[in-house]
Amino acid sequence: MIKEFLKKHWYKYVLGITCLVVVDLLQLYVPRYVSKVVDHLRYEKPDLNYVSIIIWSVIGIAFGMAIVRFFWRYFIIGASRKFEYLARNILFDKLLSLSMSYFDVNRSGDLMAKFTNDLQAVRMALAQGVVLSVDATFMAIMTVIFMGSFVNWRLTWIAIAPMPGVALVALLFGRLIHKKFMKAQQEYSALSEITEETVSGVRIIKSFAANDLMHRLFNERSMRNYKTNMSLAKVSSLFFPLMTFFASLSYVLALRFGGAMVIREQVSLGEFVAFNSYLGMLTWPMMAFGFVLNVIQRGRASYKRIMEIMKEKPHVVEPDNPIKIESIEKVEFRNLTYRYPGSTRDVLKNVSFSFTKGNMVGIVGTVGSGKSTIVKLLAKLYPVERGKIFINDVDINDISSQNIRNLIAFVPSEAFLFSDEIQKNIAFAQDTIDFEKVVNYAKLAAVHEDIEKFPQGYKTIVGERGVTLSGGQKQRVTIARALYREKDVLIFDDCLSAVDPETEERIISTLREKYRDKTMIIITHRLKVLKDADLIIVLDDGKIVEMGNHEKLMQQEGLYYKMFKKQLIEGELRK
Ligand SMILES: Nc1ncnc2c1ncn2[C@@H]1O[C@H](COP(=O)(O)OP(=O)(O)OP(=O)(O)O)[C@@H](O)[C@H]1O
């Protein structure tokens, strides 16, 4: 990623570094001019014109430095920001291209950290890292040259003797501070995590009367956060005094030996003043050496973490020469035994069934029996071996996932809505909103009346920035969203569990009435909804135990019959 970036944007670094070197050189000339003024003022009749020319020159240099400084920042910081922008976009696209299994095993907090902290660390390495290393090296060498050639080489070697101490302290403490800082960051993340979970889980916490427990947990983490920050503060407090100690040693040596040279008139007073300014200038590059190593080290570690995402291969491999299908006429599962990537347990065992366009297919069964897995595989959300799933008699592996997903409208069991207007949620992923269509599908999903009751109707914002919808309302909005796509295959994965049984039945039968020609795959725990289904697949522990329509399954008096009877009695009892 960085290589490609530098290939395109290298000239910004060349321009930026040139400006940086110019600023450093200009800066080095200031003490020389000051020394001239000091020496001149010692004359009995100083030429004030000469002094004012020099003063104006110094002002000119300062002005020039300000301008050139703007440009080096513009080029180098600008380039690093550009990298951050491009890398973030590449990462985002990569993330969207990864299979579901990637998200099953990677925590969202960690992914967020890669998008924020890690990218920032790489950017810092490309900005501060570059600036500090060039600045520190160039300034250190040039300052020593200026000190030696314009003042005195012997005095220079004596005075800079303690400077490696400054670099060493910066390096060692820099590392320690970095380690402590990372620890403090971790503790802070843990603290934020518990705060966020407490806020989102406040209802559960209160209903379980778990306030004391949460308080204890929070206090523990808060204390750890406090302690790591205190430890960081202690190290930082030692850092600067130690640095200034070594730096002042240089001044002491300069004063002792330089002072003697001034008295012996080996060095002029002006030169001695300039020498002290140069010493001050040398402290910064020494400190920078320590910092730069840390910035680059951190950047490298973060870059490695970012590249982990970039190297990730999607589990669902897209075909090289995909076969394009225009509609889903037939679906067939042939002896499918399936286990999720990285898992050792078969969640579907020898599953075979087929259905054709226009069928209403119900998938029912015990909890965790593999119902959702079937539809997720059909939508190509997870990889499946060849020869197991066919659409229009074409192996699913020969059809691109985009092609399949463009032909189906999938409503997953978790009703996820974006924090945006309801109408935008319904017309999701469309460039324009056809309001009439939005209302039409909201009516079909039996949520129109609920939406109308909100003061801002379809413009109501959902979620944190707006109103909180009930579980049932959310589910029905997600159905309207799927209907809005106007696809020939509708998949409802237990997506009406939070509405009452009567409403679920009403929604499904209205949809069936209206869309006789559409294929509907419905996963549900309420069997009554499937009375008109053409095919009902009954699963238990990954195996199809029964299959057929409602009448046939009732006659068999197996698992379906038992579940149906039980639900009938429960329904009666509710009345
Ligand atoms: N991404 C995954 N990785 C590994 N195992 C999984 C994954 N998703 C589901 N499983 C496992 O596969 C089995 C079947 O899950 P699935 O969600 O298909 O069941 P289900 O019949 O839809 O369940 P429910 O009725 O509770 O919604 C479960 O044992 C589950 O733990």
Q: What is the pLDDT of residues 40-96, one digit of tens each?
A: 777 777 777 888 888 888 888 889 889 988 988 889 999 999 999 999 999 999 888
Q: How confident is the model over 2-8, as a mean pLDDT?
A: 86
Question: Can you tell me the ipTM of this complex?
Answer: 0.96
Whole-angstrom distance, CA of residue 319 vs CA of residue 321: 5
Residue 388: helix, strand or coil by DSSP? coil
> Which of 333, 488, 476 is CA-nearest to residue 408?
488
Q: State the pLDDT at residue 575.
A: 63
Neighbours of 102 (CB within 10 A): 17
**To test the ligand 1 pocket, which listed residue (100, 339, 347, 374) has its Cβ within 8 A of the most ligand atoms?**
347
Structure tokens given for 210: 């778990």
Distance 466 CA to ligand 1 centre (A): 33
Ligand 1 atom at shortest distance from the alpha carbon of 104: 1
CATH architecture, range 325-407+487-501+515-575: 3-Layer(aba) Sandwich (3.40)
Q: What is the dihedral of CA 359, 360, 365, 370, to 10 degrees?
A: 60
pTM equals 0.72
Distance 369 CA to ligand 1 centre (A): 7
| Complete edge-to-edge strand list for the sheet that includes strand 360-365 | 408-411, 489-493, 519-523, 360-365, 535-540, 543-548
Strands (E), 67-175: none
Nearest residue (CA) to ligand 1, atom 5:
340
Q: How confident is the model over 380-400, as a mean pLDDT?
A: 94
Distance 405 CA to ligand 1 centre (A): 21
User: Over pLDDT 90: what percentage of the chain?
Assistant: 32
362-383 pLDDT, tens digit per residue, is 999 988 999 999 999 999 999 9
Q: How confident is the model over 180-186, as a mean pLDDT?
A: 78
376 contacts 389 by C-beta, under 8 angstroms? no
Distance 483 CA to ligand 1 centre (A): 25
Residue 496: helix, strand or coil by DSSP? coil
Q: State the pLDDT at residue 36.
A: 80
Paired with 365 in beta bridges are: 539
186-237 pLDDT, tens digit per residue, is 788 778 778 877 887 888 888 888 888 899 999 999 999 899 989 988 987 8
Residue 515: helix, strand or coil by DSSP? coil
CA distances from 572 to 500, 558, 561, 575 (A): 14, 21, 17, 5
Nearest residue (CA) to ligand 1, atom 4:
340
Termini Cα distance of the chain:
64
484-517 pLDDT, tens digit per residue, is 988 989 999 988 887 888 888 888 888 888 888 8
Q: State the pLDDT at residue 548.
A: 93
Q: State the pLDDT at residue 237.
A: 85
Return the domain boundaries, the chain.
2-151+267-311, 325-407+487-501+515-575, 413-484
Q: How confident is the model over 119-139, as a mean pLDDT?
A: 87
Whole-angstrom distance, CA of residue 336 vs CA of residue 12: 56
Distance 368 CA to ligand 1 centre (A): 5
Element (H, E) at 184: helix 163-200
Q: State the pLDDT at residue 424.
A: 92
Ligand 1 atom at shortest distance from the alpha carbon of 376: 18
Q: State the pLDDT at residue 407.
A: 93
Strands 348-356 vs 330-338: parallel, antiparallel or unpaired: antiparallel
Nearest residue (CA) to ligand 1, atom 14:
370
463 contacts 490 by C-beta, under 8 angstroms? no
Whole-angstrom distance, CA of residue 252 vs CA of residue 211: 61
Superfamily, domain 413-484: P-loop containing nucleotide triphosphate hydrolases (3.40.50.300)
Rg of the chain in Å (alpha carbons):
36
Strands 348-356 vs 360-365: parallel, antiparallel or unpaired: unpaired
Whole-angstrom distance, CA of residue 419 vs CA of residue 438: 17
CA angle 38, 40, 41 (to 5 degrees): 65
Q: State the pLDDT at residue 527.
A: 87
Q: State the pLDDT at residue 464.
A: 63
Helices 501-514 and 471-484: crossing angle, nearest 10°? 10
Domain 2-151+267-311 shares a fold with domain 413-484: no
Residue 349: CB partners within 8 Å, gap ≥ 6?
Answer: 337, 541, 542, 543
CA distances from 358 to 236, 330, 506 (A): 71, 10, 19
Q: What is the sign, positive or negative, of the torsion defined by CA atoms of 258, 261, 267, 268? A: positive
Helix, strand, coil shares of the chain, percent, nearest 5, are 65, 10, 25
550 contacts 533 by C-beta, under 8 angstroms? yes
Q: What is the sign, positive or negative, of the torsion defined by CA atoms of 454, 457, 458, 463? A: negative
Residue 129: CB partners within 8 Å, gap ≥ 6?
Answer: 292, 295, 296, 299
Looking at residue 427, what DSSP letter applies?
T
Instruction: Please tell me the CATH code under which domain 2-151+267-311 is placed.
Output: 1.20.1560.10
Distance 529 CA to ligand 1 centre (A): 22
pLDDT at residue 109 tops 80: no
Structure tokens given for 380: 């190509």
Q: How confident is the model over 298-310, as a mean pLDDT?
A: 84
Length of the chain: 575
Distance 417 CA to ligand 1 centre (A): 22
**To test the ligand 1 pocket, which listed residue (316, 340, 522, 526) has its Cβ within 8 A of the most ligand atoms?**
340
> Which of 133, 17, 19 is CA-nearest to residue 67?
19
- Amino acid letter, 244: T
**pLDDT level of residue 466 (50, 70, 90 thresholds):** low
Distance 372 CA to ligand 1 centre (A): 7
Q: State the pLDDT at residue 491.
A: 94
Paired with 411 in beta bridges are: 492
Q: What is the mean pLDDT of the chain?
A: 87
pLDDT at residue 293 tops 80: no
Q: State the pLDDT at residue 536.
A: 94
Whole-angstrom distance, CA of residue 439 vs CA of residue 447: 9
* Residues having CB within 6 Å of any atom of ligand 1: 104, 340, 343, 347, 365, 367-373, 494
Nearest residue (CA) to ligand 1, atom 6:
340
Q: State the pLDDT at residue 465.
A: 57
Paired with 390 in beta bridges are: 332, 395
Whole-angstrom distance, CA of residue 389 vs CA of residue 375: 11
